[in-house]
Chain A
């Protein structure tokens, strides 16, 4: 990819580092968590040094992810406020998926889908954290019915979260020129004008 001095800065180094701390934690948590969820995934514990290590590490990585996500939440919260244009975008997401995004409503730094994803992830993270603490038998002891409910919530939300992350990653890969924003921070002006025109106007001052 050619780096052009006129490329637009989309993420600062701190934002990128923050994102990848959460991202790496999430991948490790998904791999170890799936191992405890379904026998088909149990061999994944080998990536962590065996079942006992996976059990020990999973909640610790969970804490790390939670801390990282809280920081990220406050970083990006204001940028993800839902606006009428976002709702319209979401209503017409089918057109976007169909591959024709030229008539989509103009979007700021984030589109409606990204904002919806941000809030859904925030809710999921909170639920995962609370239910995860409930399941952490090494340090906590809750009434058994609470633990049972925690187990259902933790696994259901984790499955939803993994599916959402697939969508998140796929969206980044599908929309070409996006991944570089999270790798070295910049996007091309053409990319910005096509996908986030309102943001493009705001940062360049052009029409």
Chain B
């Protein structure tokens, strides 16, 4: 979905600057896990706004429905039952793309313009440029993108980039009945989170905190967590996500190094030929064979 075009911060597989003359405010979605009631209105709003209907799934014996993200379900509520201080806590996390400031998907993507990061922080897939290789899945520290079985394109939450472009909040934030999903500038969202943390700490959640992991440069989807010291409690939210060193090696250091090495071997061969000349059969041996034939 390409509505914006002058405010591109980064473009996949592109080595020259993307059009970026327009500067926009960095936005963020804040998901306050402590006020989420797990109603899935956000899931419904997501499918409605994006006009995508996933197949009706089966009940897996838990509240999670669908059980995982798919190419057609860009956000899912993940329900974790955790015992804390002898009490059951039902931790419900709305999972989906985190819109990393340093996106692993974009780093790994080989198709120019298939993944775009806007100046406002949104990381968006442009499916018309996607070749379906799945490198974005390999690069993502949060296991978010999914390849469609129908068209072999990668899909994920767009943070409603089309809505945001015209000054609207994402559909999920609009639909949330408890205000657990807030949307605004990243600064505003941090301020809002700070207030929520004061409240949570007053209620005894002394480890409450904001999830805005520095390992990926911060995210444009942030969580307020009651147990920010243990994000794994929330159905495996990574404690310190970052782009895997293997991905950095593969799509960072290795790219220029291998290109230069291959070029060096090719050019080295050419210059060897130019400087040493061809390795020809000696005149003596040619004559010897001729004499042999003349006999």
| Chain A residues with a Cβ under 8 A of chain B | 6, 35-40, 42, 45, 51-52, 54-55, 97-99, 101-102, 137-138, 144-145, 147-149, 151-152, 155-156, 159, 162-163, 166-167, 170, 173-177, 188-191, 193-194
Contact = CB atoms under 8 A, between A and B. Distances in A.
Given A36-B110, A167-B269, A152 B254 contact: yes
Contact of B111 (A6, A51, A152): A51
Contact of A156 (B254, B259, B280): B254
A148 B244 contact: yes
Given A137-B137, A170-B272, A190 B254 contact: no
A159 B111 contact: no
B63 interface: no
A159 B257 CA distance: 10
B258 interface: yes
A45 B132 CA distance: 14
A47 B218 CA distance: 40
B207 interface: no
Nearest to B270: A170
Given A99-B276, A148-B247, A163-B262, 7 more contacts: A42-B110, A51-B129, A52-B131, A97-B272, A155-B250, A174-B278, A176-B280
A137 B285 contact: no
Contacts of A52: 131-132, 152
B265 A163 contact: yes
A62 B104 CA distance: 27
Contact of B281 (A40, A159, A190): A190
Contact of A144 (B137, B282, B286): B137
A35 B13 CA distance: 10
A101 B132 contact: no
24 contacts: A6-B289, A6-B293, A37-B258, A38-B258, A40-B259, A45-B131, A51-B111, A99-B279, A137-B133, A137-B147, A138-B132, A145-B246, A148-B138, A148-B250, A151-B135, A152-B246, A167-B265, A174-B273, A175-B278, A176-B280, A189-B289, A190-B281, A193-B285, A193-B289
B244 A51 contact: no
A42 B269 contact: no
Size category, B interface: 35 or more
A201 to B, nearest CB: 14
Contact of A55 (B131, B273, B276, B281): B131
B288 interface: yes
Nearest to B259: A38
B247 to A, nearest CB: 6
B15 to A, nearest CB: 5
Contacts of A189: 289, 292
A204 to B, nearest CB: 10
Given A52-B132, A52-B152, A166 B266 contact: yes
Which of B254, B279, B282, B289 gathers the greatest number of chain A CB atoms within 10 Å? B279
Contacts of A194: 281-282, 285
Nearest to A50: B131
Most chain-A Cβ atoms within 10 A of its Cβ — which of B110, B134, B261, B293? Answer: B110
Given A6-B293, A97-B276, A188-B281, A42 B250 contact: no
Contacts of A42: 13, 110-112
B277 interface: yes
